Structure 1
Amino acid sequence: MSWHRVFLTVLIGLFSITFALADNDDADREGGIIGTGILGTITDLGSIYVNGQHIRFDPDFAIAEGVSVTTADELQPGHTVAVVATAEGDDWRAADIRQVVPLVGPVQAKSDVVLQIMGTTVLADAALLQTIQPGDWIAVSGLWQSRQVIATRLDPVDPGTPARIEGTALDYEVGQPLRIGGTQITGLVPQHIQQGDVLRVTGAADAATLKAQRLETGVFAATPQVVFSEGYFSVPTASGLYTLLGADVVSYTDNPGMIDPSARQLVCSNDGRLFPAPADQLAPQEIASILTKCASGVAW
């Protein structure tokens, strides 16, 4: 049995319990969306698979914040998405799908496996870069690792498309200029964000800056209690704070050496408590155990 089928078997049963609780306790949650959040990279179609989960939708289902797609039937492997879904038999049914695009902007420079966009480094397989040239405008799908993006898909966009960056606020001090990745944000100084917040900034691109015209926070249309995310951990701060980059979940550790920023993680978070599983190291049974604890709220 493949690892994603193990995930599916465990999660459907457990998250169905979570849904029942949510329906009773959180029916009036802000945004009106009840369900489990699934954040990650599409690996297969029919409808889509994200983090091993089979998510169904109607072909004309609208995509929120879409840059290279507007409806769900345009989604392709490599796109990154944030989905709020509810259990439907052995699968999931999407209630909300948002395209997650870490970067949209012009390519400043290109080497064999590296792009520079608005001062931020993008790592990509050579196959993804074959048709990309400096000056091209592209939408980058992928995951943040430290202050760079590991690309999973590159889509050309019209040069008239607003430039955009979506990532986690790190080392931010109130009243000071904001930097996401290697990109300096100009045009506004946010006053009400916190370390670990995910920001989506839209505006005009320059060489290593983005002049902000709009700034939004949050990954999902409403914050689900249970979120299943793919990503990389940040380096813990002096206070022990760390986050799963791009996922809007923050935790603390008194043992920073246990946090590995280089390992891709599958993380289940339940009401702010994290249950991580190094994606490339653990057996399916070990990952399933972690997810079981997360969904049932058992102390870790």
Structure 2
Amino acid sequence: MVLFPRILAAFLIALWVYAPAQGRSEEEREGGIIGTGIVGTITHLGSIHVNGLHIQVDDMMPISGSVEPMSAGDLEPGHTVAIVAERVDDGWHARHIRQVFPLVGQVTDFGDGELAVLGTRVTVGETLPDLLVGDWVAVSGLWQEKAVRASRIERLTGTEYQARISGTYLSSDQNGALVIGSSLISGISPQHLQSGDLVRVYGEPGPSGIEATRLETGLFDETVGIIQVQGYYSAPQPDGLYTVLGSGLVAYTERPEMIDQNDSVIRCGQTGRLIDSGVADQDGNDARDLQAELGC
């Protein structure tokens, strides 16, 4: 009688197939196949350091979102980036890098340690770059309240560029118009934006904003697991919603006075929500270890 050996063989085959599949799903949950998102400012090179993490990069890797075509070897301190990374041999390796510009447009005004681009104030520290009104600039940095704290400003040669804004949508103005920072977005009336969404807008520049021809949401072109972000908190909305500006990650508070908007923070998030240490939507100690390694 051969029934029992056949059943045993079928069981062993099923077990052999299931084990690798289970391993793959665990690897995906832990940030192996599904990458980890890292969003912040490059502090120094070799390969690159972002938010205190040393991330190995291939210098020939093409960078998405750049104004001019560039590769990872062209990145400089002060550039703001959104990286999809994975841990390999206990180190971080980038597999995709997007250059993030809060603003790309023409300079419309100067002030004391600041300038205006697309209707939004840009603080630049003690020394203003050598710029003129009308110059095109690409601004790297972090949003704070309705302004951008620039970490790097690059003057663009020529004028054949699309204006850009990358920032957080929180609410419309009194006329129902879309506003990001202090920049008015016209030309497009999106129907499904939610408060806290990260929005990337492209179009024609104006003194108070941008005439949009294209609007996209999110920082990443692929699914990521845990996201580590650097930035400043927004002021809480009437319903208690707040975000790390420029991240697309939100949370709610019943104590809005406790949300400090003056100092930058490093936070983790997942599936559009800010999360506290050790509470990622992943099972096991590996998820907690990953958050600990990310410092959030």
TM-score by length of 2: 0.81
Given that 2:34 and 2:225 are in contact with CA atoms closer than 8 Å, whether structure 1 keeps it comes out as: no
Give the corresponding residue for 1:274.
275
Deviation per CA, 1:127-183, whole angstroms, max 9, x where unpaired?
3x231221110000000001100000001123211100010001248x932011111
- Is 1:41 equivalent to 2:74 in the alignment? no
Question: Which residue of structure 1 aligns with residue 131 of structure 2?
Answer: 132
Structure 2: which 5+ residue stretches go unaligned?
Answer: 1-21, 278-286
Change (3 A) 1:61 1:293: closer
Matching residue of 1:57: 57
The 8 Å contact of residues 177 and 185 in structure 1, kept in 2 or not, is answered as yes
Residue 93 and residue 294 in structure 1: after superposition, are their counterparts in 2 closer, same or farther (change >3 A)? closer
**C-alpha deviation, 1:68, in angstroms:** 4.9
Alignment partner, residue 25 of structure 2: 24
**1:281 aligned partner:** none
Quick check: 1:96–1:221 contact (8 Å CA) kept in 2?
Answer: no
* Alignment CA distance shift 1:26-1:239 (3 Å): farther
The offset of 1:231, in angstroms, is 0.1
Do the aligned residues in 1 keep the contact of 2:232 with 2:244 (CA within 8 Å)?
Answer: yes
AA of the residue aligned to 1:275: D
SS in 2 for 1:126: coil
One-letter amino acid matched to 1:274: I
1:193 match: 193
Q: Residue in 2 aligned with 1:287? A: none
Question: Structure 1 residues 268 and 27 mapped into 2: Cα distance closer, same or farther (>3 Å)?
Answer: closer
Greater CA drift, 262-271 or 45-54: 262-271
* Equivalent residue number for residue 222 of structure 2: 222
- Tell me the amino acid that sits aligned with residue 260 of structure 1: D
Are residues 236 and 223 of structure 1, via their aligned partners in 2, closer, same or farther at CA, if it must alter by over 3 Å? Answer: farther
Within the candidate set 269, 273, 291, 1:295 is matched to: 291
Superposition deviation, residue 224 in structure 1: 1.9
- Check 1:111–1:263 CA distance in 2 against 1; reply closer, same or farther (3 A cut): same
Residue 64 of structure 2 aligns with an amino acid whose one-letter code is: A
Question: Could you say what secondary structure the match of 1:73 adopts?
Answer: helix
Partner of 2:170: 170
Q: What residue in structure 2 maps to residue 280 of structure 1? A: none
Give SS of 2:204's match.
Answer: strand
Cα 1:22–1:111 change in 2 (3 A) is: farther
The letter of the residue matching 1:188 is I
Check conservation: 2:104, 2:138, Cα contact below 8 A. Answer: yes
Identity of aligned residues (%): 43
Paired with 2:290 and 2:244, the residues of 1 have a C-alpha distance of 16
Gaps spanning 5+ residues in structure 1: where? 1-20, 277-290
Over residues 234-278 of structure 1, what are the superposed CA-to-partner deviations in whole Å (9 max), with x where a residue is unaligned? 1111111001100010110111111111111011224424238xx
Letter of the 1:231 partner, please give it.
Answer: G
Instruction: Give secondary structure in 1 for the equivalent of 2:38.
Output: strand
Distance 1:257 1:229, change over 3 A: same
Aligned residues: 259
Amino acid of the structure 2 residue aligned with 1:268: C
TM-score of the aligned structures, taking structure 1 as reference length: 0.80
Question: What is the CA–CA distance in structure 2 between the aligned matches of 1:22 and 1:165, rounded to whole Å?
Answer: 41
Which residue does 2:263 correspond to in 1? 263
Please state how far the C-alpha of 1:194 moved relative to its aligned partner: 0.4
Question: Residue 276 of structure 2 aligns to a residue in which SS?
Answer: strand
Is the radius of gyration larger for structure 1 or structure 2?
2
Runs of 4+ in 1 over 3 A off after TM superposition: 25-28, 291-294
- Could you tell me which amino acid in structure 2 is paired with residue 237 of structure 1? Q
